[in-house]
Amino acid sequence: MTLHVVVPEESEALPFTVEPGGAQVASKEIPERIHRILAGLLDGGAVAAPLGADGTARAERMVGLVHEAALLEHLRHGVPEGGDSVLDSAFAAPGLEQETPVTRGVWPAALGAAAAAVRAAELTARRGENSYALVRPPGHHAGPGWYGGYCFLNNAVVAARTLREEGVARVGILDVDYHLGNGTLACVQGDPTLPFASVHSSHAKDFPYAFEPGPGLYGVESDPGTEGFLTLVKDALSHLLREDAEALVVSVGYDVLAGDPHGSWTLPPEVFGPVAALLAEQRLPTVFVQEGGYGLPSLRGAARALALEASR
């Protein structure tokens, strides 16, 4: 099976985030992440796929189905005349302070990522093969009316809704990022056609800090280790299969790996091989969507391990 990789045009790095108290710190959400992941995917047998000419138009329509109009307007036009960025608490996730600025380049970058997610979903739906939307900025912390955690538009939900439009009755969303996809959870809550499951850190110090446990949420307070992590992934997949998922969207977060600056677990890059093998065993059309992963030395190996199994 061919793993098709869709990459949007490269955008500027998010220049900074804001810590509690107002201090600006350099963002780790940089283009080099994507360069290394792409190299690993190609090493593992994946094939680059063109974005396509009409992806942006469909992406604009799809993000309008996922997000509130006020959020989209803010991302498009929220930076005041003469300014470079804006930090607006009105668009922070419930219970959180806003730490992610909107800059003038955010809208085209976020829409380009959503367009890549749409294209990946189209390829999977129409060819029956796996695809990988290698996007930045990531998206799983973007909710119906909020952004944060480097995320502005929810690419995973956009991909899932695209699969639904392409005729898939129920699309399971599996999130294996170190952090809970609080935005994804909010976007699909109450929709039985988009069941959600997540493996993540539930430690109180980890973003998004506080959330209610619930069905499909497999959070752990400490490092699960390789075997523990794979067991959690199996449990999360079983949950989605019980919900009769006919296709999968997988939010991939390489921040579960040892040495990631935004995580605390010690998993090796090779863990994504058995993760991808577990997914392949389900024989379901699968769209991978890039989320976190900021430890640059580990990214190529992790992506290669995933692609070797997802390309079989």
* Residues classed as catalytic: 141
Comparing C-alpha atoms, which of 211, 86, 99, 201 is closest to residue 148?
99
- Cα–Cα distance measured from residue 137 to residue 19, given in angstroms and rounded to the nearest whole number: 19
- Range list of H helices, the chain: 31-43, 55-66, 69-77, 106-127, 155-165, 182-188, 225-242, 272-281, 296-310
3-class DSSP state for residue 223? Answer: coil
Question: What contacts 84, CB < 8 A, 6 or more positions away?
Answer: 103, 104
- Cα–Cα distance measured from residue 261 to residue 22, given in angstroms and rounded to the nearest whole number: 20
Query: Which residues share a beta bridge with 304?
Result: none
- Cα–Cα distance measured from residue 287 to residue 255, given in angstroms and rounded to the nearest whole number: 19
Which letter does DSSP use for residue 14 in this model?
P
Question: What contacts 97, CB < 8 A, 6 or more positions away?
Answer: 20, 89
In single-letter form, the type of residue at position 187 comes to C
